[in-house]
C-alpha cells in the first residue's frame, strides 16, 4: 500500500504540499489514497511495483478531482469534446477503449497515466499453442 510520503516524493513538482490551505495537506492525500484503493483492482497487476505505480497515479487523479471540486464549490465538470473562443476552436476525441466506464479517468492527466499503466493488464492475453487436431 502506498503512503503519504510516496505521493509527496513522486509528485513533488506537481503539487504544493503543506498543512496550510490552499496547499495539499496530508489529510487530502490520505483521502485520495482511500478513494484509490476503493476502486483499484490490486489483483490485476503482475507485481507490487507495478501496482504501486498505478496506485500513485490513481491517487493523484483523485487528489486533483478533490482539489478541483473544492476550488469550484462542488460544481461538476464534465469532459469536453470541443470548445471555441474568439474564432479559435479545439476538438478532442477520447479513444474508443477509454469510453464508457474508464471515461472518468480521462478528466486528468494522472487518470490517463493510470489507464496507460493499467491497459496491458485490462486487455487479457492471447496465446498460441503449437499442435493440431486429431480425427
Measured CA distances, 17 to 8, 11, 25, 39, 46 (Å) = 7, 10, 6, 25, 31
Q: Summarize pLDDT for 60-101 with one digit per residue, the tens.
A: 999 999 998 887 665 555 555 566 677 777 666 666 666 777
| Cα–Cα distance, 108 to 35 (Å, whole number) | 15
Matching residue, cell 461538476: 76
Q: What is the CA radius of gyration of the chain?
A: 19
Q: Summarize pLDDT for 102-132 with one digit per residue, the tens.
A: 888 888 899 999 999 999 888 766 667 788 7
At residue 86, the pLDDT reads 78
C-beta neighbour count of 15 within 10 angstroms: 17
At residue 124, the pLDDT reads 67
Judged by DSSP in three states, 67 sits in helix
Report whether pLDDT(20) > 70: yes
Closest of 25, 26, 30, 33 to residue 56, by C-alpha? 33
Amino acid at each position: 500500500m502506498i503512503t503519504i510520503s510516496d505521493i509527496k516524493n513522486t509528485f513533488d513538482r506537481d503539487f504544493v504540499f503543506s498543512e496550510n490551505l490552499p496547499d495539499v495537506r496530508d489529510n487530502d492525500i490520505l483521502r485520495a489514497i482511500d478513494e484509490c484503493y476503493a476502486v483499484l483492482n490490486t489483483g490485476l497487476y503482475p507485481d507490487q511495483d507495478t501496482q504501486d505505480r498505478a496506485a500513485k497515479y490513481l491517487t493523484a487523479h483523485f487528489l486533483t478531482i478533490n482539489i478541483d471540486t473544492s476550488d469550484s464549490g462542488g460544481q461538476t465538470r464534465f469532459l469536453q469534446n470541443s470548445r471555441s473562443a474568439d474564432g479559435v476552436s479545439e476538438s478532442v476525441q477520447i479513444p474508443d477503449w477509454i469510453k464508457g466506464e474508464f471515461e472518468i479517468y480521462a478528466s486528468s492527466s494522472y487518470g490517463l497515466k493510470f489507464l496507460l499503466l493499467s491497459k496491458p493488464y485490462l486487455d487479457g492475453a492471447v496465446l498460441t499453442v503449437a499442435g493440431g487436431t486429431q480425427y
